[in-house]
């Protein structure tokens, strides 16, 4: 079996590729490299450069590499950007997922693991979110992903397609072996931004709103380490291979950290007291998103290895140090060379 990983040159996709290779799986990556990096794809893994919405290309890739399982990561993911460019997000996240589904069904692909988001819940009323919580997204990003979830479930009912939807909470950290990390240009992830500020790559960190109904007024998020998340994808695939039903699972740790707490953790781990400024709230940002992870632990037997904020921050800092800019900007390649030497 060959597994097609769409968006496999991006942050989470690259870590999933590493986890699949570590498990002895055969992988092909499809990525347009708009935010991913060619260097993130390990040596020996076929890379098809192109658009996941190109049904003809997807069909050829499935046929050429004898694909019968797909992990679908390719998407646009920045909430404020989705508010400013909703049609772009519906095209990238919803229409292109529809094209991928059509090509997959026509080719007889048997299993699909889909990268979704906690943004489908919107502004929750409770302290933690189960998978059965109301789905009322408050931004186009969340709505574009929820529509994709609906399409996948409907296609699975009509065709012989097994599926798992994984709703990510906030992803952070890096591969513990230093083989991959967050390298998306202009990334907005708080842990990465704070680590860059600690290393002098950014002048400051902005706190977008400190008057939220949370314990310190800043947004509360459930941070999940990226390799733990990659392992959740493998657990989902095993579930489907063993005949498990189509299902939706939250991916988090079941506890939240505030923006203030993340910034303080980065300061403690780095030993640097970098500047922080207050800014206005961003459009579409809920005050709190924390997962109830009972279902994924019970059904998939998933158990995280890196559920500690300081560990996540230390990994992210190590990655940022390894990819600090050089004269020609080829930072990711330098980091991978260093990782291979030190492995």
**Which residues does the annotation mark as catalytic?**
141
* Distance separating the N- and C-terminal Cα atoms of the chain: 28
By the 8 A CB rule, do 300 and 264 touch?
Answer: no
From CA 260, how far away is CA 68, in angstroms rounded? 44
Residue 264's CB: how many other CB atoms inside 10 A? 15
| Alpha-carbon distances of 73 from 99, 105, 177, 204, 339, rounded to whole Å | 14, 18, 22, 30, 24
Distances (CA, A) of 96 to 48, 88, 93, 99: 16, 11, 6, 5
Cβ atoms of 318 and 174 within 8 Å: the answer is yes
Kind of pairing between the strands at 220-221 and 257-258? antiparallel
């Amino acid at each position: 079996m060959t597994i097609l990983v769409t968006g496999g040159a991006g942050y989470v996709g690259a870590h999933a590729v590493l986890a699949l290779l570590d498990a002895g799986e055969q992988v092909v990556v499809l990525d347009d490299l708009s935010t991913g990096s060619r260097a993130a794809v390990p040596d020996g893994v076929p890379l098809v450069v192109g658009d996941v919405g190109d049904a003809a290309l997807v069909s050829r890739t499935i046929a050429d590499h004898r694909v019968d399982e797909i992990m679908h990561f390719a998407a646009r993911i920045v909430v404020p950007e989705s508010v400013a460019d909703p049609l772009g997000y519906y095209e990238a996240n919803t229409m292109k997922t529809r094209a991928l589904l059509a090509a997959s069904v026509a080719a007889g692909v048997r299993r699909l693991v889909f990268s979704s988001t906690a943004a489908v819940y919107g502004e929750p009323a409770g302290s933690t979110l189960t998978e059965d919580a109301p789905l009322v997204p408050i931004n186009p990003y969340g709505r574009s992903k929820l529509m994709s979830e609906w399409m996948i479930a409907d296609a699975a009912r009509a065709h012989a397609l097994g599926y798992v939807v994984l709703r990510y909470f906030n992803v952070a950290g890096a591969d513990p072996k230093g083989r991959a990390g967050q390298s998306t240009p202009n990334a907005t992830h708080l842990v990465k931004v704070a680590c860059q500020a600690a290393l002098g790559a950014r002048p400051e960190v902005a706190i977008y709103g400190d008057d939220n109904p949370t314990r310190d007024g800043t947004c509360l998020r459930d941070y999940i380490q990226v390799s733990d998340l990659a392992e959740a994808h493998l657990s989902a695939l095993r579930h489907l291979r063993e005949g498990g039903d189509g299902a939706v699972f939250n991916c988090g740790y079941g506890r939240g950290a505030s923006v203030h707490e993340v910034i303080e953790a980065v300061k403690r781990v780095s030993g640097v007291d970098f500047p922080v400024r207050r800014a206005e709230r961003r459009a579409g940002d809920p005050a709190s998103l924390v997962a109830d992870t009972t279902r994924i632990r019970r059904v998939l037997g998933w158990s995280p290895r890196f559920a500690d904020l300081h560990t996540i921050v230390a990994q992210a800092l190590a990655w940022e140090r390894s990819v600090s800019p050089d004269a020609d900007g080829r930072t990711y390649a330098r980091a991978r060379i260093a990782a291979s030497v030190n492995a």
